[in-house]
Structure 1
Amino acid sequence: MSAPAPDGPAVAGDEPRNLDDYVVQYGRLPFEPLQAAVRRRRVLQQVRSIAPRRLLEIGCGLDPLFTDLPDVQEIVVLEPAAAFASAARAAASGCRGVTVVEARAEDVAPADLGAPFDAVVLSSLLHEVPDPSALLLAVRRFCGRSTVVHVNVPNARSLHRLLAVAMGLVEDVYALSPVQRQMQQRGTYDLDGLRAELAAAGFVVARWGTVLVKPFPHAQMQELVDSGFLTPRLIDGLDSLAEALPEIGSELWVDAEVADV
């Protein structure tokens, strides 16, 4: 199984996204800063392994990558949310080789950004847009033959989802959680579903894995942090565990390449 299709059952992503509300809700999420830190660590690791000269980041949120990638000669950020784009511009002030564009990837001509890029990053984004196929086809236009596209999304087979099914709290691991509805997300991916969407846009998965084995939902994880039980060392251990048990990590990542035609 894969994530719900955009024309499938009504979910949060079937209606136009309210980006202003998304920005507000994002700032209120429990545990998300810690989850985001683990996610970012993996993204940076994969980008550094690619060693791109030119990087395109699509959807930077509150923490654009360029602040931790001083060796990349040129970085372009495409961010449709006004508040996030404004914050990225402020962070880019004085940074050489960084350009922030407030726009959707689907609405920008590749020539305007000097495509192709050596690497493209879509971090925590594909599951939030109403039409992932359109986004991936737009991304393909920014790619050359050797471009690597790094994508990460929530993993439908995360341990906390498997546990919820085992407890009878939800019928299956693909059910939308209250947090997903709050954040206007349209669904959750497994590896087969993500591979299929990438393949339809002209990509093949070269590498994959997960991050952070997360036993419980965000709210319960935050309670463990607040109690002092869930320490930084324990979080690092749960993240390392995802390398040994990649099927059950909380977020799925892939490095995709342009398919041979």
Structure 2
Amino acid sequence: MVFDIARSHPPHEAYLFNTDAYAALHVPDFAGRKLSVSNGLGIFQVAETAAGVFSSPARAPFGGFDVWYEEDFEAFVGQVEKVLMTCGAREWHITLPPLAYGGTRAARELVTLCRLGYVVARQEYNQSLPVDDRSFLELGNYANRKRFNRAVRMGVSARRLEVAEYQAAHEVLVENRAKKGRVLSMSWPQVDQLATAFPERVIGFGAFQDGVMVGAALCVVVRSDILYVYAWGERAGAEKSSPVTPIAHAIHDYARIAGFRLVDLGTSSVNGVVNPGLVAFKRSLGAYASLKFWLCRTPLAGEQVLAVPQTPAVPVDYTAIYDPETDFDRWYTVLTARRIAPCLQAGQNVLEIGSATGLLTQALLDRYCSIVCIERSHDYAMRARSKNFPDVEIHEQAVESFVPDRMFDHILAINILHEIPDFLSVVRKLQACLAPRGELHVTLPNPFSLHRLSARGAGMIDQLDAPSDRGQSYGTLRLQTPDSLADTMKELGLREVRREAILVKPLPNSGMAVLSEDIIEAYQELAHDMPGNGALTYQVFTHA
């Protein structure tokens, strides 16, 4: 790596798994071609796993584009793609580091890759321990302290291992995986080869009871600030003493002394299916969640272009094919309700247009407001009425014909304005009944959503602001950018006071619907780092 003195910040440090030295360990493992792109912009390792199919990493927890400076990321990706296509690549697969490694930079790079046509093929729920001024017992919860104290009472202690003890630790981990019907991904010769090649990078920990190793962990220093727990576990029969908890304590203590920023505890899901017990255990230690992505790029996918649909003159009636309480879109309602609820005060008047079956209404009942709902669908309105919400009026009519009899402190136009042909007239009507200090809450589908960026980059759509076929069948007449909406509202005398992303969505609804709640919640957390790329944008307006 060459430091560029013209830059105002130091270069990114390469991850171990992307270095030439690490790649050299696995040269004999693949019959296909091995490529290394390394220059003044970054480094990239890839191997041909089938004819014309390349994978980064060849054999490691992750690979991807390791770029020295963030501003060179897109240029380096372009250089790598030229090399791959010159070699006849028809598709390539990239496993990225967990987003926790790079924070907002990693999130921005994911957005760039999606814009360039990379599609999310898989995501896993990853958990990491922060390393800061807090001790291990301060970091975890009561359950963690209880387990640790029980282990101590049972005579279990943990420490860093000598290199000569690594094979015994590996045997413990093999036994641990065997009792679960699984196989450890690395054999002892492979671990030994890694520890020999990188003696300062492979670190073992063990838990002992009566002089016997009852638990073990093997860790890898993937970068000077990140320690990765490759595997940990206890021997069969040692579960009651929970030796992994003292091991976690020893790992965290070591990480604090050595100056690491985080300890990667690995994934807690398999093929997107979360292991609730594993998630809860790591969470009790003080771990926080992030996501780890597998991406796919197919350069031949850009030949098909979709036509731009014409905007119909009347709203589409989709009530027979769409249930707002079971469709994946319900997540948008749930997550938006979390944003709105803190804004409401008891006794305030609230107007909700396009209230459907009352999912949002129900989520706001504990704010003790007086709510007026407008819903044009008879079926939806009847379902909402059947729930007998207290202090809620439900009007079965189009918002265009609604005549308000009061001023409203909050008006909710949630995921609805894009379905209204003359939405400017509707906004003027809403503005007229908005109290002087009232707030108009709006969510709209975001043209810059991650899944739309991927679709355009892969050639599946031509324009980001063209509604999809699914969107059209469910009433979408237009897609409008958040900036465009803010400009329109400004012309109407309303100023924007808040803007947030609702749920990062790398896949279409069908792909998102099969994910667990934990992974969906992790995608929502990711929205904080990707404010311009949520599936929906939540904007709040008040009188200018």
TM-score by length of 1: 0.83
Q: Distance in 2 between matches of 1:88 and 1:254?
A: 26
| Cα distance change of structure 1 residues 130 and 79 upon mapping to structure 2, 3 Å threshold | same
Q: Which amino acid in 1 is paired with 2:467?
A: L
2:538 to 235, 240, 253: 253
Q: Distance in 2 between matches of 1:13 and 1:129?
A: 11
Q: Give the % identical residues.
A: 24
Please tell me whether residue 199 in structure 1 is matched to residue 490 in structure 2. Answer: yes
| Cα distance change of structure 1 residues 12 and 70 upon mapping to structure 2, 3 Å threshold | farther
Q: Which amino acid in 1 is paired with 2:313?
A: E
Partner of 2:313: 15
1:232 to 517, 520, 538: 517
Asked which structure has the greater RCO (Cα within 8 Å, sep 6+), the reply is: 1
Question: Could you tell me whether the CA contact under 8 Å between 2:438 and 2:543 is conserved in 1?
Answer: yes
Question: Could you tell me whether the CA contact under 8 Å between 1:126 and 1:132 is conserved in 2?
Answer: yes
Q: Distance in 2 between matches of 1:248 and 1:134?
A: 28
Partner of 2:349: 54
Please tell me whether residue 170 in structure 1 is matched to residue 461 in structure 2. Answer: yes
Q: Distance in 2 between matches of 1:35 and 1:181?
A: 15
Q: Distance in 2 between matches of 1:122 and 1:252?
A: 12
Partner of 1:215: 506
DSSP 3-state at the match of 2:320: helix
DSSP 3-state at the match of 1:149: strand
Partner of 2:96: none
Instruction: Give CA-to-partner distance per residue, 1:169-216, whole Å, 9 cap, x none.
Output: 111211221111211311112111111232233211100011111111
Question: Could you tell me whether the CA contact under 8 Å between 2:354 and 2:375 is conserved in 1?
Answer: yes
Please show how residues 79-158 of structure 1 align to structure 2 within 5 Å: 79-91=375-387, 93=388, 95-111=389-405, 115-158=406-449
Instruction: Give CA-to-partner distance per residue, 1:69-115, whole Å, 9 cap, x none.
Output: 23323111111111111112212x2x43211111222212222xxx2
CA RMSD of aligned residues (A): 2.2
TM-score by length of 2: 0.41
Please tell me whether residue 70 in structure 1 is matched to residue 366 in structure 2. Answer: yes
Q: Distance in 1 between matches of 2:471 and 2:316?
A: 14
Query: Which one has the bigger strand percentage?
Result: 2
Partner of 2:321: 25
Q: Distance in 2 between matches of 1:73 and 1:220?
A: 36
Query: Which one has the bigger helix percentage?
Result: 1
Instruction: Give CA-to-partner distance per residue, 1:2-36, whole Å, 9 cap, x none.
Output: xxxxxxx98464232243xx101223x9x973332
Question: Could you tell me whether the CA contact under 8 Å between 1:25 and 1:182 is conserved in 2?
Answer: no
DSSP 3-state at the match of 1:185: coil
Question: Could you tell me whether the CA contact under 8 Å between 1:59 and 1:79 is conserved in 2?
Answer: yes
Q: Which amino acid in 1 is paired with 2:427?
A: L
Q: Distance in 2 between matches of 1:185 and 1:38?
A: 16
Q: Distance in 1 between matches of 2:334 and 2:470?
A: 20
DSSP 3-state at the match of 1:216: coil
Partner of 1:242: 527
Partner of 2:335: 41
DSSP 3-state at the match of 1:246: coil
DSSP 3-state at the match of 2:419: coil
| Cα distance change of structure 1 residues 215 and 66 upon mapping to structure 2, 3 Å threshold | closer
Q: Distance in 2 between matches of 1:65 and 1:211?
A: 15
DSSP 3-state at the match of 2:322: helix
Q: Distance in 2 between matches of 1:17 and 1:171?
A: 24
Question: Could you tell me whether the CA contact under 8 Å between 1:118 and 1:144 is conserved in 2?
Answer: yes
Q: Distance in 2 between matches of 1:42 and 1:36?
A: 10
Q: Which amino acid in 2 is paired with 1:43?
A: A
Aligned residues: 236
Structure 1 residue 62: Cα displacement:
2.2
DSSP 3-state at the match of 1:212: strand
Q: Distance in 2 between matches of 1:241 and 1:168?
A: 25
Instruction: Give CA-to-partner distance per residue, 1:153-180, whole Å, 9 cap, x none.
Output: 1000000111111111111211221111
Q: Which amino acid in 2 is paired with 1:34?
A: F
Q: Distance in 1 between matches of 2:534 and 2:316?
A: 29
Gaps in structure 2 of 5+ consecutive residues? 1-306
Question: Could you tell me whether the CA contact under 8 Å between 1:12 and 1:184 is conserved in 2?
Answer: no
Question: Could you tell me whether the CA contact under 8 Å between 1:38 and 1:239 is conserved in 2?
Answer: no
Question: Could you tell me whether the CA contact under 8 Å between 2:504 and 2:526 is conserved in 1?
Answer: yes
DSSP 3-state at the match of 2:329: helix
Q: Distance in 1 between matches of 2:518 and 2:362?
A: 25
Partner of 1:4: none
